[in-house]
Amino acid sequence: MNHQKSSTLDVAIIGGGPAGVSACLELAKAQSGKVALFESGPELGGIPRTCHVFFGMRDMKRIYSGPAYAKKLDRLARETSTDIHLNATVMQIVPGSHGVPHRIQVGSREGFTTYDARTVLLATGCYESPRDTRLLPGPRPAGIFTTGTLQELVRNCGSKPGKRAIIVGSEIVALSCVLTLRHAGTAIAGLVEEDDELQTNPLLARSMGGMLGIPLYTGTSVNAIVGTKRVEGVQLLDRRTQKIQDVACDTIILTGKFRAYSPLIDNTAIGYDPATYGPAIDMNLMTTVPGIFAAGNMLRGAEMHDLCALEGRRAAKGIVAYLKDQGAKTGRRISIAAEDPVRYVVPQRIIPEEAKSYRSSLFHPGPSIQLSHTVKKGVLEAWSGSQVIWRKPFTKFIGNTRIPLPLDEFNWQKADRDTGVVLKVVAS
């Protein structure tokens, strides 16, 4: 293949989903110089291309279907001066230092191209944990899919995954999976959740399950997969009673347990957060390498598309500020981490003096946490050394769901900048 050298970019955006495209639109408004967007797939729009309804509420102020929302993003992006590269996979990032541009290597049908970029935005999204990482016992027959593969199969290929499916996991994406299976004409044998509580709004999930006649198995795990060439069924283990139940099905859909898709930061100077599997960022969404930013689901695993879009806009504003003054620091950052069952906290580096301007809510992205499982009646506390600098009692936190974190309520005067802050859940 050919290899050619490109001119320097002001901004290189990696990923053409809601976060990447929205950043592109924000940068166009600010006239931020030469911007290029690299998408490994054949279209812009990301996961919404294969999904259903209820897209665009928070970023576009109206409701679209998934495909219509993706097409809207594509049209808006093409109305800008952004240089859009489809079927272009970024193979490597070589971070620069001390004013040296960051180098990215891109593979496409035309060959390999190297770009030098003053700033880079990572927006490569996330993926659901496959069977291997879930340690599901049994043989490896055909008929086992993640939700992403299911949606591609049904929406883009027009194929039916099977006659009768079992859904593993109860995060919000499982409800999207229900809609996709019904659209394909596949019966649903049940929804299985290891935790005693559903990992999404329980009223919504139980209402959908009741209306559609879908059995909900909580506190239950897959004990074995039955079948050799094709799935024939599953053995379900009730973790409370140790009772085993056989359920006939020819399809298994693995949902949730999202992980950041972040191989580009491997073996680089970009700081890695082992809790999220993605890069550690500050309040402007900049990584530990000046000039390299990150936004969207590569920061934490799955989040709602429109919040990712708004996060892409915030990252773009951070890029604009960086390009103007090369990221002049306004204060010393404090690290913030989490202890189990708090699965992660984002961002991981805080400037206390700016905490009041960075709030998170139902309608705005910002500081947030997730718990690894649902917890009832506890207290969420922020510790710095031996000092509690914030605490909040709660009745119930749903696992694997975004929980806004009010950093502006922390007593930052008590925080030890060297020790940092740790979030803990304690019994009430």
**Residue-range domain boundaries for the chain:** 3-127+259-326, 130-256, 335-427
How does residue 206 score in pLDDT terms, banded at 50, 70 and 90?
Answer: confident
Q: Residues 193-216: what's their mean pLDDT? A: 85
User: Residue 64: how many CA atoms within 13 Å on its side-chain side?
Assistant: 21
| Furthest-apart CA atoms within the chain: distance in Å | 65
Residue 407's alpha-carbon distances to 202, 343, 378, 418, in angstroms, are 28, 17, 19, 18
* 296 contacts 310 by C-beta, under 8 angstroms: no
**Exposed e or buried b for every residue in 23-55, given b needs 16+ CB within 10 A?**
bbbbbbeeebeebbbbbbeeebbbbbbbbbeeb
pLDDT of 31-62, one tens digit each?
889 999 999 999 999 888 888 778 888 899 99
pLDDT of 110-143, one tens digit each?
889 999 999 999 999 999 888 888 888 888 899 9
Among 57, 76, 253, CA closest to 152: 253
Q: Is the model's pLDDT at 2 over the cut of 70?
A: no
Strand partners, 370: 344
User: What gap in Å lies between CA 123 and CA 21, rounded to an integer?
Assistant: 9
* 372 contacts 409 by C-beta, under 8 angstroms: no
Q: Is the model's pLDDT at 360 over the cut of 90?
A: no
Q: Is the model's pLDDT at 345 over the cut of 80?
A: yes
The two structure tokens encoding residue 40: 């490994």
* 271 contacts 100 by C-beta, under 8 angstroms: no
Radius of gyration of the chain (CA): 22
The two structure tokens encoding residue 172: 């919000």
Domain 130-256 belongs in CATH node 3.50.50.60: yes
DSSP H stretches of helix in 224-294: none
The sheet that has 220-226: what strands, in order across it?
Answer: 220-226, 233-238, 244-248
**pLDDT value of position 110:** 85
Q: Are strands 111-122 and 3-5 parallel, antiparallel or unpaired?
A: parallel
How does residue 428 score in pLDDT terms, banded at 50, 70 and 90?
Answer: confident
Domain 335-427 belongs in CATH node 1.10.10: no
The two structure tokens encoding residue 159: 């194929």
Which range of 82-91, 347-356, 395-404 scores highest in mean pLDDT? It is 82-91
Bond preceding residue 67 cis, omega within 30 of 0: no
Fold equal for 3-127+259-326 and 130-256 = yes
Instruction: Identify the CATH number of the domain defined by range 3-127+259-326.
Output: 3.50.50.60
Q: Is the model's pLDDT at 366 over the cut of 60?
A: yes
